[in-house]
Structure 1
């Protein structure tokens, strides 16, 4: 990877910091991109339960290990079959616990990838209401990705592909994000609705 981009800070954000953002975080790390973070935006971490009426709800202070053990205690066979245990186990390899974007106000990023319109709107609103500090630009890019394990894998690959195209723009990348998105759309066989805006810290 070119040295000019290795110090760029990247965030992947979904609702609960369990599936889509963590799959992207995990992929970026495996590809050698170290300066990457992941977050959720909801008030609590929400996972499917054994019925629609009984979701599993956790505080963001809960570690992935604690969530893993809780799911095992409730119904190990069910959550293993549904893929939740493997998902949480993957997360445990990446970082200790889920994080909420709005709580990490000291961190600043060059690119923030989101995975649904609602999360994109929360990020834009949060940054809009922060007190100006460094005036550093941040590009917020949204891919609408269904919150399933299979779609998260495909979504992470697409986000990484767009990152590669942005990365290829060299020192002028900050002015060529829209061009990179257009190039991604032209080279992809999937119809993507991608939102993009630039804001400032």
Structure 2
């Protein structure tokens, strides 16, 4: 684990040193085409709006295509485990989302503020020993905003805030209604652009 962290830190420093060597502050990147693919793994802390679900973590990845300087389309998937309080069990959720992302500054700028939104499906699998508890796969929506800081044209850091909506219809005896996993997410990750 420790050698992996050291390798990651060295890789990170190599990429950022290239950006710092480009005459200090760079107003924009010289890219001939604003269309390119990118890959962005992320980790977000999830804070559900339900008293019946504990806080958790989403591990996700986005593959996107920059359609223009300010607009991108993405496919995102990930994994999150929700722990239901009162020892009712755990629910693994794998969302599969199609996102649209709009950047206010543009993909050729070192700093960008963006808005995003997505639709998709959440595959919910409930793990419990309590009889009568059930869940189902459901429609999912997410929306959010964030900041992307580009060290160079190929590597950037992303910090974002999201709201994730998923109603897996968790029902159990003695509870009237359905436990929802609507959550605020805060986190970030890195983004590799293939220009």
- TM-score, length-normalised on structure 2? 0.26
Larger Rg: 2
User: Which of structures 1 and 2 has the larger relative contact order (alpha carbons within 8 angstroms, sep 6+)?
Assistant: 1
Counting strand residues as a fraction of each chain, which structure ranks higher?
Answer: 2
Counting helix residues as a fraction of each chain, which structure ranks higher?
Answer: 1
